Structure formats: C-alpha cells, structure tokens
C-alpha cells in the first residue's frame, strides 16, 4: 500500500485518538494524528470492519498495511460513530450551493487565504459593511455554523473584517479557478451568486460597469458566464501595466505593480440585464448601477428602499 506523505510521517505510532485521564484526574488531550492521515485511515477502518474482522483482527491488519496501531477504543468509536475522525475541524462538505459559489467568487476577488501556525484562514477585509455581512452569512452556511461569523471593524485598517478557519475549505478554495468551475456552474443561482461576489469584490460602476483582475483566466471565465446569461461585454483589455506605481490608500506607501491588471466592461445595452440578473450586494455600488441603468429608486421606507435596490424583472420592464 502506498501511503500519502502525512501518513508516512505518522508511522510507527500507537495513537489514542481520544482524551485520556491523567493521574491528577484532569482530562489531558493526547496528540492527534494529522487530519490527512485520519481521512485516509477512516474509510480503511470502516471497510475492514465491513469485511467482518473483529476489532483485534482489524487492528493487526491495519498495522500490517500502514504501520499505525490505532487503539481499539478509537476503532470502536469510529465504527460506531461515537468519535468523529475529523475531530474538532470545521466541517466542510463540498456540496454545491449559491453560498459556496459566493464564497468562491470572493476568494477569487478581494478575499484572502492565509495560513497562521495551525489556522487555515479564509479572510475578507473591506470598506463596505454590507459586503462583509453577506460574506459572513455565506461562509457560516458553507461551514455549517449556527450563527454568522462576526463582522468586526478594525479602526487600524479602517475596514470591516470577517475571518473563518477550516483546513478543508481552505484546501478546497486553494484550487485554481478552472478546477472550481463545476461548483460555480452547478445551476443558474450558483452562477449568478459567483458573479455577484466577484463584482462585489472587483467590480466598479463609473460611467459603465467594469471588473478588473490580474488573472486573465478568471476574467475570460466571467465573460463566458455573462455571455451565457446574454449579458454582452467588450474585449478584455490591459488596464494597468506591470511595473506601474500603486499607492496604498491607507498608508500612502508606493508599490510597483507586479502583474498586468486586466479589465472587462459590460456593454451599455446590457446594463439593464446585468442589473436584473447579477447586480451588487453592496448598496453603494447597486445605487450607482440603478442610476446608470436609468431606474429610479424609491426611498419611502428603509424596507421599501432595500427591495427596490434589487428590482424584479417585472419592475424593470
């Protein structure tokens, strides 16, 4: 049997994967096997048990195959579902959903994937509170949280920050855009959620609707999705050339741009369709969009105003 590197590193250990009592009576947590290893061992344990082996036979068989001796208590816990091999990891099932598509769109735009010691973070730091709130809502649904992640204001950065952590989601989102396409293309709702997230991140409304990014691949894909939704765009063009100077608005420090920045514009005749089908979560951008789409916004009451910011097709025609 060929073992993955993480499994090889964990070899030759007899590892209790559950808390044990020390002599003082306090619960002491023993070091766990790496997550990758647990994820390989778990299905193996289940299939060996399904083949009719006793716990002792299973333990021996597993040791012969992997050089890892799991305790019988752990084997029993896994087989009977009393212990979860994923431990305290934030669970993530890669089920397609508009919330997952929105999360992907943000990470390909303004979001960041960071690794801090043992934390695999998914982070968004932005000036628009409504954008941060929507990301928090989607991220908490994707990670099966009962409440949305906290949206906190950083006085230092002058930005709203949302921060979640999950090794599994981090790994999933670290893939290239090309590999994430099946989740984005799942259905029309997922496609438009992805586009809205990407435009919330990278889009701007100034005379027209444009979106800019350093990845040509991502922008070609965005253009393809828009075309399928019958939203016409112009050609991709270089907006800023690598080497030009970039000023950090907060610190005032100057940087040389490392990569070309490309942009894409929605054609004037498709502005109304874009407003109707994609739109922005960010109210500031959505109001500008309605303005250039020639749609009057009613502001009689906050509830009414909010509804009118995302008009339905019948309201637009």
For binding to Zn ion (CB under 5 A), which residues are involved? 96, 186-187, 190
- Output 100 or 168, the one with its CB closest to Zn ion: 100
CB of 159 to Zn ion, least distance (A): 30
- Output 191 or 200, the one with its CB closest to Zn ion: 191
- Output 107 or 266, the one with its CB closest to Zn ion: 107
CB of 96 to Zn ion, least distance (A): 5
- Output 143 or 190, the one with its CB closest to Zn ion: 190
- Output 104 or 309, the one with its CB closest to Zn ion: 104
CB of 136 to Zn ion, least distance (A): 20
CB of 184 to Zn ion, least distance (A): 9
> Where in the chain does DSSP place strands (E)?
14-15, 20-21, 27-28, 69-70, 112-116, 119-126, 152-154, 159-165, 203-206, 208-213, 237-240, 245-247, 254-256, 261-265
Taking the C-alpha atoms of 78, 183, 113 and 147 in order, what is their torsion angle to the nearest 10 degrees?
-70
Phi, psi of 247 (to 5 degrees): -110, 125
Q: Take residue 217 and report the two structure tokens written for it.
A: 């691949």
Q: Take residue 173 and report the two structure tokens written for it.
A: 């989102």
- Output 180 or 290, the one with its CB closest to Zn ion: 180
Q: Take residue 46 and report the two structure tokens written for it.
A: 């289940």
CB of 264 to Zn ion, least distance (A): 24
CB of 313 to Zn ion, least distance (A): 20
Q: List, in order, residues 6 or more apart from 56 with CB less than 8 Å away.
A: 72
CB atoms within 10 A of CB 295: 17
Using an 8 Å Cβ cutoff, are 97 and 190 in contact? yes
CA nearest neighbour of 97 among 172, 178, 194: 194
Q: Take residue 292 and report the two structure tokens written for it.
A: 């250039």
């Amino acid at each position: 049997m060929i073992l993955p590197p993480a499994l090889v590193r964990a070899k030759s250990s007899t590892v209790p994967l559950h808390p044990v009592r020390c002599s003082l009576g306090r619960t002491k947590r023993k070091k766990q096997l790496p997550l990758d290893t647990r994820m390989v061992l778990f299905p193996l344990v289940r299939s060996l048990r399904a083949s009719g082996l006793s716990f002792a036979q299973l333990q021996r068989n597993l040791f012969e195959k992997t050089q890892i001796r799991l305790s019988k208590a752990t084997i029993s816990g896994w087989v009977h579902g009393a212990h979860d091999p994923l431990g305290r990891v934030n669970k993530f099932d890669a089920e397609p959903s508009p919330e997952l598509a929105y999360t992907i769109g943000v990470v390909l735009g303004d979001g960041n994937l960071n690794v801090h010691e043992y934390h695999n973070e998914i982070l968004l730091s932005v000036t628009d509170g409504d954008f941060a709130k929507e990301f928090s809502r989607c991220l908490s649904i994707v990670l099966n949280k009962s409440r949305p992640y906290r949206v906190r204001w950083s006085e230092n950065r002058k930005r709203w920050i949302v921060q979640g952590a999950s090794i599994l989601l981090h790994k999933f989102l670290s893939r290239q855009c090309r590999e994430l396409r099946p989740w984005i293309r799942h259905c029309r709702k997922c496609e438009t959620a992805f586009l809205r997230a990407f435009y919330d991140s990278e889009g701007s409304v100034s005379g027209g609707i444009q979106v800019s990014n350093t990845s040509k691949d991502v922008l070609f894909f965005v253009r393809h999705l828009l075309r399928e939704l019958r939203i016409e765009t112009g050609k991709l063009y270089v907006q800023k050339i690598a080497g030009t100077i970039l000023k950090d608005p907060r610190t005032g420090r100057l940087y040389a741009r490392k990569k070309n920045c490309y942009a894409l514009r929605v054609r004037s005749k498709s502005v109304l369709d874009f407003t109707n089908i994609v739109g922005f979560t960010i109210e500031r951008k959505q109001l500008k969009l309605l303005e250039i789409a020639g749609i009057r916004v009613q502001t009689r009451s906050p509830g009414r105003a909010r509804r009118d910011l995302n008009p339905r097709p019948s309201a637009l025609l």
